[in-house]
Amino acid sequence: MNVLWALHDGLVVARRNLIKVKRVPDLLVFTTLQPVMFVVLFAYVFGGAIAVKGSNYREFLIAGIFAQTVLFGTTITGAGLADDIQKGIIDRFRSLPMARSAVLIGRTLSDVANNLIVIVVMSLTGLAVGWRIRTGVLDGLAGFALLLVFAYAFSWVMAYVGLLAPSPEVVNNAAFVVLFPLTFVANTFVPLEALPGPLQAVARWNPVSAVTEAARQLFGNLAPGAPAPRGWALQHPVVYTLLWALGLLVLFVPLATRQYGRAVSR
């Protein structure tokens, strides 16, 4: 019953967050413009300079853009919580007869909805520049679902950061420092073979490389006859991604929930 109670309260909070986006549409506009800009710039500016053996660079690119975008989208979780703390809204929530985890559940679920909208916009942009899903409908949907599951797990990391940070600006700056190298020292935008040796070793075990590789497999965007990637993580990218997602949830759901009980207005 406690789980159902928390989920019910979480859905109410998620609805509140989505209504907030509806009333401030600039948030959604700028969130979707950035990935569209990345797709167009990388496809047309760098597409002629980056070679992918046996594959179209634009098809190689889109899964990486998806992975980067949903990860950066998780910063909304942390920034939103930091903003609510700063304005005293969290204190009001804590005074209500609701599950302690409901605010965090609602915040993370609403940001999944935001990421879903962004993925739809990016998919349409990708189709416009030549990207296609070469597998079946179920595989394609599985690729999108895996991206959202990984992003949802990472949003709990950002929730914990947001409850610790003194302001939304600090959350955004701290997230950029971590997420920027995490998404670029990977196979997101260039093949691993193009990276220097030490960075290749890091990139092979980078979870962003795994979720990108998994998405490419499920979308059918890998080069025909391409050799199997080196390393267990990239040879089993779906399993590795799900293990990371599970590990992040097991670690950060209780950490964020406990920190929520300690957070005070600043």
> Judging by beta carbons within 10 Å of its beta carbon (0-12, 13-18, 19+), is residue 139 exposed, middle or buried?
middle
pLDDT value for 7: 76
Q: Could you give the dihedral angle defined by the CA atoms of residues 263, 177, 41 and 195, in that order, rounded to the nearest 10 degrees?
A: -140
For residue 189, give every residue at least 6 positions away whose Cβ sits within 8 Å of its Cβ, in sequence order, or none.
42, 46, 50, 61, 64
**Can you tell me the distance from the alpha carbon of 205 to that of 110, in angstroms, rounded to the nearest whole number?**
29
> In total, how many domains does the chain have?
1
Amino acid identity of 196? Answer: P
Amino acid identity of 125? Answer: T
**Can you tell me the distance from the alpha carbon of 76 to that of 108, in angstroms, rounded to the nearest whole number?**
9
Q: Supply the DSSP string of 152-204, one letter for each residue.
A: HHHHHHHHHHHHHSSSHHHHHHHHHHHHHHHHHSSSSSS-GGGS-HHHHHHHH
Convert the pLDDT of each residue in 122-173 to its tens digit.
899 888 888 899 998 999 999 999 999 999 999 999 999 999 988 888 898 8
**Can you tell me the distance from the alpha carbon of 209 to that of 186, in angstroms, rounded to the nearest whole number?**
5
**Mean of all residue pLDDT scores within the chain:** 85
The pTM for the full model equals 0.89
**Can you tell me the distance from the alpha carbon of 186 to that of 192, in angstroms, rounded to the nearest whole number?**
7
Mean pLDDT of the 61-79 span = 90
Domain assignment of residue 125, given as a range? 2-262
Axis-axis angle for helices 102-129, 237-262 (nearest 10)? 140
Query: Per the structure block, which two tokens stand in for 106?
Result: 């609602």
Backbone angles phi, psi at 115, to 5 degrees: -65, -35
Least confident of 8-17, 42-51, 187-196, 199-208: 42-51
pLDDT value for 11: 79
Position 51 pLDDT exceeds 70: no
Convert the pLDDT of each residue in 196-245 to its tens digit.
888 899 999 999 999 999 999 999 988 776 677 888 999 999 999 999 99
Axis-axis angle for helices 207-219, 197-205 (nearest 10)? 70
